[in-house]
Structure 1
């Protein structure tokens, strides 16, 4: 189900000094095998599209019911700051999640990372070196977010 993080061509994002990722957090970041990633992608993200660039109006992320009112905000300003915390509106959107909630940071159908929500909150800056439209979802949770390379994030609710 998992493959070594060291085998990921961009594993350097978790080894940088800025933003720094603690070794105990790196140990909890699990990269799914391509087969497991495809299953999570199909079940949580899209049965039809392989990459966020290809989402259509048929995908839940694009549906009106999935959009959080006033749920578009800039993540890049917080990412560029000296503060490590996620933007407040993101934290508020995911406030129902416990620190141990399993989250999936889904880059595309063959690249998905699994970690506890508490770890994601600490390593989000490293994760967003992969900012080409990844979708963050929680296991058995309705809240979600899609990060875009233009510095914006859309707060979402998973709808089917």
Structure 2
């Protein structure tokens, strides 16, 4: 089994919070991975040695500062009333809405969904903003979110 039931996911509340509930159509498409599957995906696509964004080191592609764009703000859009992603992210990522994406909080906590679902519910995903990375299956673009309210884009 690769997925946890959303009801068993410790952070389920970020998708069911009364102030920002995810629609009944999108909720089943938000699939937390098991710890084992999360760790496998993290090792294969993020880092074979670092457990989270705070510990990236030499040999981890996210550690290469030369690939990342300038930091841009996501916090203002998150705090605002409009549901859209920050324009710089929407312009950088040209994926189809049905592209499988992985929102990687850390080695043992990864969520699989589709790009369209993520775009509609990105604010929920960022209730926890401790350095998560957004990557797409078979895609080179990546977005790294900082707890300082900024993000950076790169091709990995």
Work out whether the TM-score is over 0.5.
yes
CA separation in 1, counterparts of 2:62 and 2:48? 12
Aligned position for 1:82? 81
TM-score, normalised to structure 1's length? Answer: 0.93
Contact 1:65/1:157 (8 A) holds in 2? no
Aligned position for 1:116? 114
Structure 1: which 5+ runs fail to align? none
1:51 aligns with 2:49: no
Deviation larger for 80-89 or 14-23: 14-23
CA separation in 1, counterparts of 2:37 and 2:10? 18
TM-score, normalised to structure 2's length? Answer: 0.95
Aligned position for 1:39? 40
Aligned position for 1:28? 29
CA separation in 1, counterparts of 2:145 and 2:112? 17
CA separation in 2, counterparts of 1:19 and 1:94? 24
Name the SS for the 1:23 alignment partner: coil
Aligned position for 2:92? 93
Q: Pairwise mapping of residues 133-152 of structure 1 onto structure 2 (< 5 A)?
A: 133-152=131-150
Which consecutive aligned stretches of 4+ in structure 1 deviate over 4 angstroms post-superposition? none
Structure 2: which 5+ runs fail to align? none
How many residues matched? 155
